[in-house]
């Protein structure tokens, strides 16, 4: 596949439709994604991004020092939640949610949340929930309050992605969400120290994303 442009609304639409081919499932998952984006944006508009993978393998919403909500290529949705509040909601999951974590840099999975470790070292009580996209409409609404609790903690933590996270933000994906859902979805508002750094490092960073979402040219419609 050709390299995906993070500035392109057309490329973003193609990747969303490839990862989520069913229209009803796609629209609902995008709605859930936007709810998480809006929640994080209202806490700190300088500390999140939406990464459209430049090979089209995933779409990932990152917050603070950790990833948060990923639409994967294998019909999976990866949603990070807060363990204490997730445990209360788990009685409604009917065994359909799998939990993941990393051990010695290898992903491990379990149907039992109690067997899992924190999926992100920097954020205590972080739980990776793996949901089949066909089940997302039923279960993600139950999980979103726990996801918001996770976002609260993630936004307090020091970013591990640093400036690279901001370079990989996709204004094209945001433009597509605005159009597909017929609602306003914000771009991040990155601070001035980032733009000073970006200007100095622009020639050294291999990224397709435009460095300033607020002042970006009208490239998202291409």
- pLDDT of 132-169, one tens digit each? 999 999 999 999 999 999 999 999 876 545 566 777 88
pLDDT at 195 over 70: no
Residue 157: both structure tokens together: 């933590």
Q: Helix (H, G, I), strand (E, B), or coil: what is residue 71?
A: strand
pLDDT of residue 167: 78
Q: What kind and span of H or E run contains 130?
A: strand 126-132
pLDDT of residue 80: 97
Mean pLDDT, the chain, integer: 85
CA pair distance 168, 53, nearest whole angstrom: 8
Asked if residues 173 and 180 have their Cβ atoms less than 8 Å apart, the reply is no
pLDDT at 94 over 90: no
pLDDT of residue 199: 53
Length of the chain: 222
Q: What are 42-89's pLDDT values in tens digits?
A: 999 988 999 999 999 999 999 987 899 999 999 999 999 999 999 999
pLDDT of residue 193: 57
Would you give the DSSP letter of residue 169?
B
Model-level pTM greater than 0.75? Answer: yes
pLDDT higher for 200 or 189?
189
On the CB side of 22, CA atoms within 13 Å amount to: 11
> Nearest Cα to 19, choosing from 51, 59, 54?
59
Distance of CA 6 to CAs 109, 155, 213, Å?
31, 24, 11
pLDDT of residue 34: 98
């Amino acid at each position: 596949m050709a390299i995906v442009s993070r500035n392109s609304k057309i490329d973003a639409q193609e990747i969303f439709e490839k990862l989520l081919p069913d229209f009803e499932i796609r629209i609902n998952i995008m709605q859930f994604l936007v709810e998480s984006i809006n929640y994080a944006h209202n806490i700190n508009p300088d500390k999140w991004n939406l990464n459209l993978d430049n090979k089209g393998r995933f779409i990932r919403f990152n917050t603070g020092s950790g990833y948060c909500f990923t639409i994967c290529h294998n019909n999976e949705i990866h949603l990070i939640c807060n363990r204490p509040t997730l445990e209360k909601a788990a009685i409604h999951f009917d065994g359909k949610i799998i939990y993941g974590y990393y051990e010695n840099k290898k992903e491990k999975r379990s149907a039992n949340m109690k067997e899992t470790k924190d999926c992100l070292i920097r954020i205590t009580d972080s739980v990776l929930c793996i949901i089949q996209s066909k089940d997302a409409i039923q279960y993600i609404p139950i999980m979103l309050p726990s996801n918001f609790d996770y976002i609260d903690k993630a936004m307090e933590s020091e970013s591990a992605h640093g400036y690279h996270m901001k370079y990989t933000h996709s204004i094209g994906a945001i433009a597509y969400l605005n159009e597909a859902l017929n609602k306003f979805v914000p771009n991040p508002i990155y601070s001035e120290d980032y733009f000073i750094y970006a200007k100095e490092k622009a020639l050294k960073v291999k990224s397709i994303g435009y460095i300033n979402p607020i002042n970006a040219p009208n490239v998202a419609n291409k």
